[in-house]
A and B are shown apart, each in its own frame.
Chain A
């Protein structure tokens, strides 16, 4: 009795843990969807997705869609490709950032295989987790044999670490912003000096030219 009850609980547990994929959107045939994650360096990002194909016959989305491949491409802030891979209809991708900034994650399907019989519509469930959210605490608890409280503390530690990283990133950005502001300030200064010079030069040229002209015309 106790065992079956435990089994049921474990089952529920798995069900709930798997139901993370709740948000979804629709994608056209050859469409490419990109998402931006602005993250500090050395941060782990995990994306989980699941695709469902639209079936005209039953006028609904099929529960699963074998044969559909998803191409995932991740670019770092310098536009360098970090990851470019084909995954199946349901998958999970993970990458770690090495440079702080905007990372773009693009998804597009290998359209030719299914566009012929589908209405060109694909439902994509997507869940992107950043930083300490990527950790699977179920796994950690099982592996390190942690108690509930230890697990909680572990999570807090991870959270604090992520906050620290974010803070460092914010400092970096603040520094960059200030550098930009200072350079703008410098340039405005030089520009206004230059403009004054232009004004003086044109004024001087005007005077000289007019003086020469009037003298030539014997007006003065």
Chain B
């Protein structure tokens, strides 16, 4: 009984230990948004981000460790993924900056995952060997479903970016064609008047 509770407990702990946060937020022009997370030493952490909409779809990203040294510093990136292992306990800060942009505001998605170690299944489910293979397959399934969810998220983001671009393109094409039509009309009227003046001058010269 106790063992079962303990096993369940350890299982739940392992469930919650792989700590992932994904957020999508709006980044105003000239703005900077930082997120902090306390990471334990030796933990593997991954930061993934993508700009979903706005301007040239780029953002500055800076990741700094507890002692203030930068671990990752990229300018005007559209999307990227960075994995690092924490060398120290402490506060890791990652900032998204739109300070180079004066009028476009952006939508940024990020996923920060700290500690993705595999749950120690073999040491946990010890006594009942009949269940182990079933357990293992359920773990495998869980892992692959996680991958599926991950791909789905990427697909969704890609679609969102594509849609945004398409809409932007549509808008530009629309304005351009209106401009073009206006240009045609102005030009044709202009042509006629230039021609008229041309002949009128010639006649007065004679």
Contacts and interface: CB of A to CB of B under 8 A. Distances in A.
Contact of B12 (A19, A25, A138, A214): A138
A159 B145 contact: yes
Contacts, number: 154
Contact of A17 (B13, B107, B162, B191): B13
Contact of B17 (A16, A128, A162, A217): A16
Contacts of A2: 2
A162 B159 CA distance: 19
Contacts of A38: 24, 156, 160
Nearest to B93: A25
A181 B36 CA distance: 41
Given A17-B16, A184-B170, A34 B191 contact: no
A12 B13 contact: yes
Interface of B: 2, 4-9, 11-13, 15-17, 19, 21, 23-26, 33-38, 107, 112, 114, 125, 131, 134-135, 138-139, 141-142, 145-146, 148-149, 152, 155-156, 159-160, 162-163, 166-167, 170, 173, 177, 180-181, 184-185, 188-189, 191-192, 195-196, 199-200, 203
Interface residues of A, number: 65
A209 B177 CA distance: 26
A24 to B, nearest CB: 5
B142 A156 contact: yes
A24 B36 contact: yes
Interface stretch (A72-80, A86-94, A198-206): A198-206
A151 B11 contact: yes
Contact of B149 (A127, A159, A194): A159
A191 B175 CA distance: 12
Given A170-B152, A170-B159, A23 B36 contact: yes
A202 B167 CA distance: 31
Contacts of B184: 195, 198-199, 202
A195 B181 CA distance: 7
18 contacts: A5-B2, A9-B9, A12-B13, A17-B13, A19-B16, A22-B19, A38-B24, A137-B12, A156-B145, A159-B142, A163-B148, A166-B149, A173-B156, A195-B181, A202-B185, A202-B189, A206-B192, A210-B196
Contact of B6 (A9, A127, A217): A9
Contacts of B138: 149, 152-153, 156
Contacts of B188: 202-203, 205-206
A50 to B, nearest CB: 13
